[in-house]
């Protein structure tokens, strides 16, 4: 049993904590809104009053926040994670943020005698609940070996990809494909529907066809009924595409499909759909096609 501090109890973070509790670990979790963490407190999680308190209480601190600004907010200051770290402690950040920011924080962590890895995940709420979430991790190899058992208590695969920041590069490279898959799937459904095939039939065929990636299988049915709570909303996905486009410019790799998908997300925000799951790209294309619900 490990003593774990966990910062960020959102849609994904909270479910990770639930799995860690089920495995018998002691978890002290912090979230800005305590009420949202009550169901985890009822399961045995101790509530930490600050990111610093979560880090002070634990050997391993895990974090999952929305963006680079949120990561800086939980890291810095008298109540931040950095203030709660001490020699020998480990911080594993699973947020999808700027690789440069993550590397800079890792350097600060090492000045305190602790260590840090970036370890974003691949998967969705459903993937996590099914125990199929996968990790990509970057940092020192020996640190990876220490934290790998915790990752495997959350999901079945954890892959070491190299030095600090490279796991985030890998996550960005992964996520840019999600929107292009969703847009192509939407095009196929609408082409079939406008030609006279029922939308439900088109979805059934495509989600069991050669193009049915795991993402298409679990997110494709969203074109029939969107989830009440977004698994990954438009703003979050556009943040990731922005990171991809920035990285593409830096390393001189053209990302034409990423740029196109980013414009569809711009259109979604213009239609007031930014709080919806990014599968709402279908709705944008549907309106452009003159297809009603």
Give residue limits of the domains in the chain.
3-164, 169-289
- Of 146, 148, 158, the closest CA to residue 121 belongs to 158
- Of 76, 114, 12, 133, the closest CA to residue 31 belongs to 12
Active site (catalytic) residues: 171
Q: What is the pLDDT of residue 132?
A: 81
Q: What is the pLDDT of residue 269?
A: 96
pLDDT tens-digit series, residues 175-189: 999 999 999 999 999
Whole-model pTM above 0.85?
Answer: yes
CATH 3.30.1330.40 fits 169-289, yes or no: no
**Low-confidence stretches of the chain (pLDDT beneath 50):** none
Q: What is the pLDDT of residue 293?
A: 62
Angle between helices 256-270 and 166-194 (to 10 degrees): 70
Given the candidates 1.10.3720.10, 1.20.910.10, 3.40.30.10, 3.40.50.720, the CATH classification of the domain at 3-164 is 3.40.50.720
Q: For residue 9, what are the contacts with CB-CB under 8 A and spacing of at least 6? A: 17, 29, 30, 31, 36, 37, 40
- Would you tell me how many other CB atoms lie within 10 Å of the CB of residue 194? 12
Q: What is the pLDDT of residue 1?
A: 86
Strand pairing class (134-138; 121-122) = antiparallel
Residue-wise burial string across 259-293, b where 16 or more C-beta atoms lie within 10 A, e elsewhere: eebbebbebbeeeebbebbbbbbbbbbbeeeeeee
């Amino acid at each position: 049993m490990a003593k774990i501090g966990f910062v960020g109890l959102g849609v994904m973070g909270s479910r990770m904590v639930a799995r860690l509790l089920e495995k018998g670990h002691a978890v002290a979790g912090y979230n800005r809104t305590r009420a949202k963490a009550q169901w985890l407190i009822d399961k045995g999680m101790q509530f930490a009053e600050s990111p610093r308190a979560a880090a002070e209480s634990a050997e391993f601190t895990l974090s999952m926040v929305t963006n680079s600004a949120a990561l800086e907010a939980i890291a810095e200051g008298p109540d931040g994670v950095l203030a709660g770290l001490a020699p020998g402690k480990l911080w594993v950040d699973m947020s999808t943020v700027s690789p440069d920011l993550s590397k800079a924080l890792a350097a600060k962590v090492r000045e305190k005698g602790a260590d840090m890895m970036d370890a974003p995940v691949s998967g969705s709420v459903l993937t996590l609940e099914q125990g199929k979430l996968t990790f990509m991790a970057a940092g020192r190899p020996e640190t990876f070996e220490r934290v790998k058992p915790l990752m495997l208590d959350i999901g079945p695969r954890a892959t070491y990809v190299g030095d600090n920041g490279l796991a985030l590069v890998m996550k960005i490279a992964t996520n840019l494909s999600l929107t292009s898959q969703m847009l192509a799937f939407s095009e196929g459904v609408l082409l079939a529907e406008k030609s006279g095939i029922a939308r439900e039939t088109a979805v059934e065929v495509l989600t069991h066809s050669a193009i049915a990636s795991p993402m298409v299988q679990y997110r494709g049915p969203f074109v029939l009924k969107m989830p009440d709570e977004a698994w990954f909303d438009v703003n979050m996905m556009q943040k990731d595409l922005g990171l991809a486009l920035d990285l593409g410019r830096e390393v001189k790799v053209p990302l034409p499909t990423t740029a196109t998908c980013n414009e569809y997300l711009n259109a979604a925000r213009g239609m007031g759909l930014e709080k919806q799951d990014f599968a709402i790209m279908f709705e944008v294309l549907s309106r452009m096609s003159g297809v009603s619900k």
